[in-house]
Structure 1
Amino acid sequence: MECIDSIVSSKINSCVEVIIVDDGSTDNITIHTLEKCMSLDNIVVERLQCNHGVQYARNIGIAKSNGKFLMTLDSDDKINNNIDGGSYIDEAVKVLETDDDVAFVHCYSEMFGEYSGMTISSYPLNESLIL
């Protein structure tokens, strides 16, 4: 529930829409947390009856989104709320809105749970694959 807690506790100044897609959770704590989220104004919870996999769930969330920008989080991700003056989301939105040459932003991720620590991509950055 660290992922959801990091979203709910965020001091986000940007206007955001939060879509949580539950991919068939059966855990009572998760279900209870999602039910609490349903009462919050800026959070939409879509509960799937059974597990379809991460890509299916992500595509459901993307289809429901109405925003200008999109950010995906998995259940083992959390938002960094310790940035001076705001959150990671505010900083990302600021970059995307002020620099027309930037198509997307990305960050290092800190894992928690079974595996912990900072993630480092083993894939080399190749700009031609992005453009």
Structure 2
Amino acid sequence: MKSSTPEGISFVIPCFNSGDYLVEAVESLIQQPHAFPYEIVVVDDGSDEQHTLRALAQCAEHAEVRVLRQEHSGHHAARNAGIDAASFKYVMQLDADDRLATAPELLKSGSYPDRAVRFLKTHQHVAFVHTMSRMIGDFDGLTISSYPCREELILRKHHVPTSIVYRRDDAIRGGLYDPHVRKWGDWAFAVNLLAGRFRSGDHNSVVCIAGPLHEYRVHSRTRRVSNVEVSEFDMTLLVVEKNLDLFRDRFNRDDSAEDITRDVLASKPSRLVDLIRMAEFDLEQALAVARQREFSLSSPYKGLGIP
């Protein structure tokens, strides 16, 4: 761990053959109205497609961008490498096929990264900041988990987006991304971060900046991790076993990791519960989502991996 990290934010973008969208992702970060120093760390996870190599070279021409290269090791390893190499105190990750919103009407109060950093600088009890996600590409609309989350919901399997803003030291102390958790890795990362702060005696408040200020691209041109077929019980059990002290404390029970994992999965919000929570936060927003999904909570768009 670096002994002294300057104020500012590092954006980490893992990239494996995602040249179709990488330049857009980087430019969306550069176009933010930044008040704090920043850098963009692109981690090339062994890309071998020529258009991606050209995109990486194009991005590297920006003074704000550093491109790190590693042998193909997977997106978790790439994210961890980017966090480890980050120069600034705060970090936000962005997938290479996603973007931050750049519409002026959404940025009147400042950029999402700047507003998140201000919260983290002045409120030590805040573990991380998140914003809502608008889907772009093959589908347009808010994700169904577009409402404020908190520690209690996260420990009961509430969705956590990739684009949270957090303290670099908290992420390292929590153990970063676990490469063994092959799906639901962002949720696992958030739990690790919360558990690391719990062990240090810190509070774990979560702040939501509504937006939506993150743009999640829905497409079928590259295979997303969200479409991988793995056992949710097995992946959740890995996270619970690693952070059993936090789960036992928050669930107020001394059960086995297996029993707590069953409880976690049983309390995972259904699409109906997500929609109700969204309605409690913003009724018009929830109605719009219901209309966009053609009133089908089973989602006719499941094949696209729409959250």
- Superposition TM-score, scaled by structure 1 size: 0.79
Q: 1:127 aligns with which of 131, 146, 151?
A: 151
1:120–1:53 CA distance, 2 compared to 1 (3 A): farther
* Equivalent in the alignment of 1:6: 28
Q: Once the 2 structures are TM-superposed, how far is the Cα of residue 29 of structure 1 from its aligned partner?
A: 3.1
Alignment partner of 2:79 out of 38, 53, 58: 58
Give the match for residue 37 of structure 2.
15
Alpha-carbon distance in 2 for matches of 1:76, 1:112: 10
Give the match for residue 93 of structure 1: 117
- Provide the residue aligned with 1:37 in structure 2: 59
Give secondary structure in 1 for the equivalent of 2:67: strand
Structure 1 110/22 Cα, relative in aligned 2: closer, same or farther at 3 Å? farther
Query: How many angstroms apart in 2 are the aligned matches of 1:126 and 1:93?
Result: 18
Shift of 1:114: 4.8
Q: CA deviation at 1:32?
A: 1.8
d(CA) in 2 for partners of 1:9, 1:30:
21
Compared with structure 1, are the counterparts of its residues 118 and 13 closer, same or farther at alpha carbon in structure 2 (3 Å cutoff)?
A: same
* Unaligned residue ranges in structure 1 (runs of 5+): none
Cα distance in 1 for partners of 2:50, 2:149 equals 41
- CA gap of 1:39–1:87, structure 2 versus 1, over 3 A, is same
One-letter amino acid of the counterpart of residue 84, structure 1? K
Structure 1 residue aligned with 2:217: none
TM-aligned CA deviation for residue 55 of structure 1? 0.5
Please state whether the residue corresponding to 2:61 is helix, strand or coil: coil
Q: Distance in 1 between matches of 2:109 and 2:43?
A: 29
Q: Is contact 1:76–1:111 with CA below 8 Å preserved after alignment? A: no
Shift of 1:102: 1.6
**TM superposition shift of 1:126:** 5.3
Higher relative contact order (CA 8 A, sep 6+): 1
Q: CA offsets, 1:63-88, max 9 Å, x none?
A: 10121111111123211233114321
Kindly tell me: are residues 27 and 86 of structure 1, through their superposed partners in 2, closer, same or farther at Cα, counting changes over 3 Å?
A: farther
Identical pairs, percent = 38
Larger-Rg structure: 2
Give the 4+ runs in structure 1 shifted more than 4 A: none
Q: 1:38 to 1:126 in 2, by over 3 A?
A: closer
**Matches of 1:29 and 1:84, distance apart in 2:** 35
Query: How far apart, CA to CA, are the structure 1 residues paired with 2:38 and 2:29?
Result: 11
Aligned pairs, number? 129
Are the aligned partners of 1:76 and 1:112 in contact in 2 as well (CA < 8 Å)? no
Q: Deviations over 1:83-111 (max 9, x none)?
A: 11432111111221222332210111233
Which of the numbers 96, 118, 123 marks the counterpart of 2:142?
A: 118
Partner SS state of residue 104, structure 1: strand
2:140 and 2:76 map into 1 onto residues whose CA distance is 23
TM-score of the superposition, structure 2-length normalised?
0.37
